[in-house]
Amino acid sequence: MAAEQKRGTLVIIGGAEDREGDCTVLREFIRCSGGMKARIAVMTAATGHPQAVGNDYIKIFKRLGAESVDLVHTPSRQDSECDVAIGIIEQATGIFFTGGDQSRIVDFIKGSPLCDAIRKQHEAGTVVGGTSAGAAMMPDQMIVGGASVSNPSIDAVSMGPGMGFLPGIVIDQHFAQRGRLGRLLAALVLEPAVLGLGIDEDTAIIVNGDEFKVVGRGGITVADESTATHNNLEGLLKDEAIAICGVKLHILPHGYRFNLSTREPLL
Amino acid sequence: MAAEQKRGTLVIIGGAEDREGDCTVLREFIRCSGGMKARIAVMTAATGHPQAVGNDYIKIFKRLGAESVDLVHTPSRQDSECDVAIGIIEQATGIFFTGGDQSRIVDFIKGSPLCDAIRKQHEAGTVVGGTSAGAAMMPDQMIVGGASVSNPSIDAVSMGPGMGFLPGIVIDQHFAQRGRLGRLLAALVLEPAVLGLGIDEDTAIIVNGDEFKVVGRGGITVADESTATHNNLEGLLKDEAIAICGVKLHILPHGYRFNLSTREPLL
């Protein structure tokens, strides 16, 4: 009987992860991806500077001891049909999405043969990681953009389809550093998802099955809307302030664990 | 039998209130203070530019129709023994604290004869209002300063004695606009208070007895720590990330009401 296949770990990073000091977060990504035997594909779709950004990750991943690091540039949708790129994905033990603009990841990759290859590999156990835009794209409905340091309102957030690696969740990144509580709560009120994860800079969640653990310097803000008793969405106009009552909030730093099904921290 | 005396209303403003358009928030302060019969004392202790800041409030309060507006300058503690200042307070129907540095309000006024006069008038029904620093000083333990756009940690907030008009509560101001969730939660973990109020710019709470209502453009973020199931304060060092689980969160915009005793929104 064949061993049960297990979906790959997700490593979802809130942006601005340390690349010069302890590299706690990227170290964890490489460790999950096979450590010294890791073969990493760096996906540069999100960034307008793919070579420079990609070279940075080659340098750090090599320094941490990954066996190989290859860049997959997809500056257009056509590039996501390239057999060479698909070959890199099929050999990878870890696939890493850089920062930039999350819409470019969806526009250039989603639904392409490259996307199919990534999904197939992930289902078979390959780690998928991403930072900033590469974190935002993880849910099925992602935050495309919006206002930082704002109270929640309909125009404080714009949503769109994400890549769907972590469905039923809304993710925001650079969370505390850009004051994004308002737009995360707005996203929760606007979308059917009930769980929002605000990921701080240089901080990540490592998702295995229904659980994640936190690594890095900041915290994860978990906003659980399933306990909410009221919101004022009905009849609200675009620039009016959103009300929401009874959200359950957790702040989880390094080492903490959380169960995504029960929506409770594991203490 | 004498009519029961009632403590004056508190009008607590998150800073940057509109002074040129609808003036919703300041309009409410003047209305609470007696409307066209309001006699306002403007307390400039917090600011290093008392005349300029004071003149701004004279202009707007006169425009809204207050009967009289007097400035009370207390650039040193000695000035808080001045009989002229005390006379202004004794005649006022509304006492308004400007923005600036909340520590100056405590340092120059708390415990002085002027402070005694303010308390006596407030107990007898005089409205006390304040914006920004004038909001921060309202609790018995106030946020003196700290980090904006930061995850919660011990060094993200510094606390000190406030003026005690609204005890048992922690207030932060410019809340969404400066991304201050982290420091408000840090204050709640560090202090015995269990209720934190984050007041957005151009937004105020109007406190009467155990209830407040919200007026203005933004929202009030209510963080109720009484439901919290866990924090990691014991043994935590100054720069380490605070964990806190199970905080109840409400965002209340214009028109919403909240009961401070039951810690529940009035829906």
Interface of A with B in 7-66 (CB under 8 A): none
- Give the position of tokens 């307390």: B43
Is there a contact between A55 and A83 (Cβ–Cβ < 8 Å)? Answer: no
pLDDT value of position B5: 64
Any CB–CB contact under 8 A between A253 and chain B?
yes
Cα–Cα distance measured from residue A239 to residue B121, given in angstroms and rounded to the nearest whole number: 40
Choose from B244, B245, B266 for mutation: most chain A CBs within 10 A.
B245
CB pair distance less than 8 Å for B200 and A265: no
CB–CB of A151 and B223 under 8 A?
A: no
d(CA A91, CA B3): 84
The tally of CA atoms less than 13 A away on the side-chain side of residue A256 is: 27
Give the three-class secondary structure for A262. Answer: coil
Question: How many Å apart are CA A181 and CA A11, to the nearest integer?
Answer: 22
Contacts of residue B98, Cβ cutoff 8 Å, sequence gap at least 6: B42, B43, B44, B46, B47, B53, B54, B57, B130, B131, B132, B133, B134
Identify all chain B residues contacting A251, using CB atoms and an 8 Å cutoff. 151-152, 185, 241-245
What is the model's pTM? 0.96
Let me know if residue A260 belongs to a domain: no
pLDDT, tens digit, 9 for 90 and up, residues B2-48: 456 699 999 999 999 999 999 999 999 999 999 999 999 999 999 99
Q: Which among B211, B151, B21, B61 is positioned nearest to A220, based on CA atoms?
A: B151
> Catalytic annotation on B153?
no
Q: Which residues of A fall within a CB distance of 8 Å from B242?
A: 219, 251, 253
Question: Is the pLDDT reported for residue A3 higher than 60?
Answer: no
Report B:157-176 residues touching A (Cβ under 8 A). 175-176
Q: To 5 degrees, how large is the angle CA A27–CA A28–CA A34? A: 90
Catalytic residue among A33, A103, A112, A174: A174
Q: Which helix (H) or strand (E) holds B72?
A: strand B68-72
Residue A267 covered by a domain: no
- Dist. CA A243–CA A233, nearest whole Å: 8
Q: Is residue B4 part of a domain?
A: no
**pLDDT score, position A2:** 46
Q: How far, in Å, are A77, A119, B215 from residue A92 at the CA level? A: 21, 12, 56
**Closest residue on chain B to A156 (Cα):** B176
Of B80, B132, B191, B225, which is the active-site residue? B132
CB contact under 8 A, A251 and B242: yes
Q: Is there a catalytic annotation at residue A132?
A: yes
Residue with more model confidence, A191 or B162: B162
Total of domains in chain A? 1
Q: Is the pLDDT of residue B192 over 90?
A: no
Of B135, B63, B47, B124, the residue nearest B89 (C-alpha): B124
Does B3 map to a domain?
A: no
Interface contact B176-A217, CB threshold 8 A = no
CB atoms within 10 A of CB B27: 17
Mean of pLDDT over chain A: 96
In a domain, B151, yes or no: yes
Name residue A235's amino acid: G
Phi, psi dihedral angles at B266 (to 5 degrees): -100, 100
pLDDT in tens, A158-185: 999 999 999 999 999 999 999 999 999 9
A90 in any annotated domain: yes
Nearest CB to A151; choose among B152, B200, B244: B200
- For chain B, the straight-line distance linking the first and the last C-alpha, in angstroms and rounded, comes to 37
Is A150 within a domain?
yes
CB count within 10 Å of CB B266 equals 12
Reference B151, options A174, A96, A228, A7; nearest CA is: A174
Angle at B148 between CA B145 and CA B152, to 5 degrees: 90
CATH number at residue A23: 3.40.50.880
Find the catalytic residue in B17, B28, B191, B201: B201
* Domain range for A100: 10-255
Structure-token pair, residue B34: 């007696």
Q: For the segment A83-120, what is each residue's pLDDT rounded down to a tens digit?
A: 999 999 999 999 999 999 999 999 999 999 999 999 99
Active site (annotated) includes residue A201: yes
Q: In this model, does residue B72 exceed pLDDT 90?
A: yes
Residue B266 lies in a domain: no
Q: Which residues of B touch A220 (CB under 8 A)?
A: none
**Neighbouring residues of A66: CB distance < 8 A, sequence distance ≥ 6:** A30, A33, A36, A38, A39, A40, A94
CB A22 within 8 A of CB A142: no
* CA-closest candidate to residue A214, choices A14, A6, A80: A14
**CA distance linking residue A118 with residue A127, whole number of Å:** 10
